[in-house]
Structure 1
């Protein structure tokens, strides 16, 4: 049956992402601490939501699911330069229905999908 390899790939990808997340998080924190910066992403995200600068993640995920169906495995909210201006961007990593790892970039203020890339 075709579902067995698909499920095995999904499980393997999720386990790899889960295993690497703490190491990547620690490395990133060390860089910020070396620069004397405190890392409080959840506070920045909450503040941006309260100020109306970003849309709620549930709304963003519904939009992404309609356009790029798959299993979401990671979500990040970043302040990035896009087409010459600073914007909030949700970076959503997912496993597409065909088993490919994808990254979807979404404008956090408008819920517009900016890019869909293989990851």
Structure 2
């Protein structure tokens, strides 16, 4: 004996094109004023990148590879962020380390010679490798 189950036909989806159109228009109008702001920011970033490259080529700053190697040798923790910034006419590497216990430590290094300019965070003494302490 064969049993068949008759399923009722699926209800047709209700279309609301006017609502979708209004939502799309609202989104476009909300985003439109911000578009011109993103163009100069992108151009500014490229300018910063070019200045940093020229500083490296001119020997004004150490390479990122060199800085990372020094930080890994001198400090305990995983590097999670590196920024190169120009402050008061000086290039500075700002580096964030994540320690094994979850503490964040921020280092500021002179980009020209790698000298430590500042360090912030918890358990700083435990961040500096024992053979590197003065």
* TM-based fold match above 0.5: yes
Q: Higher RCO, 1 or 2 (CA under 8 Å, sep at least 6)?
A: 1
Q: Aligned to 1:68, which of 65, 70, 75? A: 75
Q: Structure 2: where are the runs of 5+ without partners? A: 1-36, 123-134
Structure whose CA Rg is larger: 2
Instruction: Specify the SS of the correspondent of 1:38.
Output: helix
**Inter-partner Cα distance in structure 1 for 2:77 and 2:55:** 27
Q: Aligned to 2:118, which of 107, 115, 118? A: 115
How big is the alpha-carbon RMSD for the aligned residues of Structure 1 and Structure 2?
2.3
Q: Structure 1: where are the runs of 5+ without partners? A: 1-29
TM-score by length of 1: 0.61
**Is 1:44 aligned to residue 51 of structure 2?**
yes
Shift in CA distance, 94/32, structure 1 to aligned 2, threshold 3 Å = farther
Q: Which structure shows the bigger proportion of residues in strand conformation? A: 1
TM-score by length of 2: 0.55
Shift in CA distance, 68/89, structure 1 to aligned 2, threshold 3 Å = same
